[in-house]
Amino acid sequence: MKKIVSAGEIVVEIMADQLDQSLAKPGLLHGPFPSGAPAIFIAQAARLGQPTGLISAVGEDDFGQMNIDRLRDWGADVSAVTVHKGQATGTAFVAYRADGSRHFVFNIKNSAAGLMEIGYAAQALLAGADHFHVMGSSLFSERAIAVILAGIEAVKRRGGTVSFDPNIRKEMIELPGMREALYQVLARTDLFLPSGEELFIFTKAEDEASAVAEMLQRGISAVIVKKGSEGAVYYEPHRQVAAAGFSVREVDPTGAGDCFGAGFVSLWLRGAQPEEALKFACACGALAVTRKGPMEGIATFAEIQAFISEATEGSAS
Ligand code: ATP
Ligand code: MG
């Protein structure tokens, strides 16, 4: 089976208890939960039985240990996750707003995650990788950008493929070098996985169809647009496939896009048709939102298959 590698931030996520809770005031919080977009993606792909590995860095602390344990327990290769004494693992505090938006306080760039590098372990991991996944949120510093571009090149040299989820938070887009780096990654992308407005960061177009057409003209093989509870749409030149969202009770939306992406890419690498990969990915995303904590709703291949059969039978009867 093809091996997926990603590089980027490992963090713990700590979320506000109440809707519209201010992070500028003392209040009740939940967590820490293992998190970080590339870590969630790799954890979901690993849980599906895909060979996976992550290039990242954590501090020598409980938060780092929790993340490493989670990834290792689910079968991911953590040999290129370096542990730094005297540094703290990254953190992301999140508060949900009543309008569905989210407010974050991040400590990533100045955390241990900022120290990720292409050392011997990362080189060894990349030497066995068939696919590289990029999370836009991971392009947070010059150093992180260099690691990711090196990862892309290593995998492309081996004849591998690249997927890219822009995953941009408004707090991040103006970081130095971010915009340029997003375009550099895009130029090497085979599968592009934006959600909602992220599609329009890179295009002049103002409607979905023209924006997608613009992206496909750049040489991207397929664009998969994520639409939250409404599901997702797959586009390739001359073909379009839509999948409805599964009906679930949303407890915590964070991580849905990462789990969706991991589901889609894993099935795509196994040679599945877009219809099947899209439905499977939607099921990964739907299950992800049913638990508090970005990795807590990650399900196994068998659990996802069972969920799809149940949902399909339910809607047929
Ligand atoms: P995030 O960046 O927060 O991880 P995203 O914006 O990248 O998320 P979404 O569109 O929110 O991605 O979610 C990805 C996929 O997960 C959707 O396309 C859908 O299939 C599934 N999904 C998300 N939320 C729900 C929901 N409430 N009910 C059912 N399915 C959902
Ligand atoms: Mg996302």
111: tokens are 């955390």
**pLDDT of 314 strictly over 90:** no
Asked whether residue 316 is assigned to any structural domain, the reply reads: no
C-alpha span between 283 and 260 (Å, rounded): 8
Asked whether residue 292 is assigned to any structural domain, the reply reads: yes
**Residue 165 CA to ligand 1 centre (angstroms):** 13
142: tokens are 């010059």
Residue 124, φ and ψ in degrees, nearest 5: -65, -40
Asked whether residue 119 is assigned to any structural domain, the reply reads: yes
Query: Quick one: which atom of ligand 1 is closest to the CA of 281?
Result: 20
Mutation to probe ligand 1, out of 9, 106, 165, 229 (largest number of atoms < 8 A from CB)? 229
pLDDT digits (tens, 9 = 90+) for 9-38: 999 999 999 999 999 999 999 999 999 999
Enumerate residues lining ligand 1, CB below 6 A: 167, 195, 226-229, 231-232, 245-246, 248, 250, 253-258, 260, 282, 285-286, 289
Q: Which residues contact 227 (CB under 8 A, 6 or more apart)?
A: 195, 196, 233, 245
Number of domain units in the chain: 1
pLDDT digits (tens, 9 = 90+) for 43-83: 999 999 999 999 999 999 999 999 999 999 999 999 999 99
> What pLDDT does residue 201 have?
84
Mutation to probe ligand 1, out of 163, 171, 198, 260 (largest number of atoms < 8 A from CB)? 260
C-alpha span between 96 and 15 (Å, rounded): 8
pLDDT digits (tens, 9 = 90+) for 272-304: 999 999 999 999 999 999 999 999 999 999 999
**Residue 257 CA to ligand 2 centre (angstroms):** 4
Amino acid at 130: D
Query: pLDDT band for position 174 (50/70/90)?
Result: confident
Q: What is the mean pLDDT of the chain?
A: 95
Percent of the chain with pLDDT over 70: 97
**Domain containing residue 14: CATH number:** 3.40.1190.20
ipTM (interface pTM): 0.97
**pLDDT of 169 strictly over 80:** no
Asked whether residue 317 is assigned to any structural domain, the reply reads: no
Parent domain of 119: 4-311
Asked whether residue 172 is assigned to any structural domain, the reply reads: yes
Residue 302's alpha-carbon distances to 29, 47, 284, 299, 309, in angstroms, are 33, 10, 11, 8, 11
C-alpha span between 55 and 78 (Å, rounded): 8
Ligand 1, atom 9: nearest CA belongs to which residue? 228
Asked whether residue 134 is assigned to any structural domain, the reply reads: yes
Reference 126, options 208, 36, 53; nearest CA is 53
> What pLDDT does residue 77 have?
98
